[in-house]
Structure 1
Amino acid sequence: MFNKSEKIEEKRTIAVEQTDTSNVISKETRITGDIQALGNIRIEGSVDGTIYSKGRVVIGEVSVIKGNITSVEAEISGKVEGEVTCTEILFLRRSAIISGNITTQKLVVENGAVFNGKCQMNTNAMVVSKSEDKNEQRGKQSATG
């Protein structure tokens, strides 16, 4: 029915649709557990767990995050208790309160933002999904015996 080129094109379309999506967690929502997304995430509620995104993460003013954030880009206006890792740029808005270390390539801090931790700025900040991290650990265990 379908030839190989049609199947490949269909898979590309699905991949593009997944990475162009945005996920929104409203003010009334509390999540306990990890979040992993290919697209952008906007959090206005609270999360008790790790956030992974291959896109942009936006944390609203009244949001509380208890866990690490790993993404390409992040904009934080709320409270984060955990490490923040961005491969490109991290924006700390004036209402941001960060308790944890930051690793990013570029950092923009507005007057009034609070940051308690260490900051490392380099071009080697990595975004690793949970599944990629587990596969890497398995490979290291196999190699060492």
Structure 2
Amino acid sequence: MFGSSKKAKAAVDTSNIETLLGKSSEFKGTISCAGTVRIDGVFEGQITVNGDILVGSEAKIVADISVHNITISGNITGNINATGKIELMETAFVTGDVKAAAFVVEEGAVFNGRSESIKNTQVQ
């Protein structure tokens, strides 16, 4: 369940970002959308994405998150439910429980919580 591989395919395709919360942005509320979302700013609330999320290294998020795949380089406080893969990059700091079909934690990342593996035959 835990692993690290520099050769692994990235969980989030960064070439097709459809929604962006820039690093100078602050938002409270609910994000509900499809496609790929990148968050570099401050967000508090609820996130439901029928697609993927990329969390930048300067992002600060306090939210429960439902997503397909998520790659995290910033700070998240909240529970994450991913039908695909959760990736914690070396600068990630996550506090909360996670559920995912695949969970990758790079050396240097900080994870405080519980993890649960779910079965998904379509992990990409």
Structure 2, unpaired ranges of 5+: 1-15
Alignment match, 2:26: 30
- Residue identity over aligned pairs, in percent, reads 30
Read off the aligned partner of 2:26 and give its amino acid letter.
R
- d(CA) in 2 for partners of 1:33 and 1:26? 16
Q: Which runs of 4+ in 1 moved over 4 A?
A: none
Structure 1, unpaired ranges of 5+: 1-19, 125-145
Q: CA deviation at 1:21?
A: 6.2
Read off the aligned partner of 2:41 and give its amino acid letter.
G
Q: CA deviation at 1:105?
A: 0.3
The answer as to 2:72 corresponding to 1:76 is yes
Larger Rg over CA atoms: 1
TM-score scaled by length of structure 1: 0.70
User: 109, 115, 120: which one pairs with 1:113?
Assistant: 109
Structure 1 residues 90-105: aligned runs within 5 Å:
90-105=86-101
Read off the aligned partner of 1:35 and give its amino acid letter.
I
User: Which structure has the highest strand share of the two?
Assistant: 2
The answer as to 2:40 corresponding to 1:44 is yes
Q: CA deviation at 1:38?
A: 1.2
Q: RMSD over aligned Cα, in angstroms? A: 1.2
Alignment match, 1:132: none
Read off the aligned partner of 2:73 and give its amino acid letter.
S
Q: CA deviation at 1:22?
A: 1.1
- d(CA) in 2 for partners of 1:66 and 1:53? 16
- d(CA) in 2 for partners of 1:28 and 1:105? 33
- d(CA) in 1 for partners of 2:114 and 2:18? 30
Aligned residues: 105
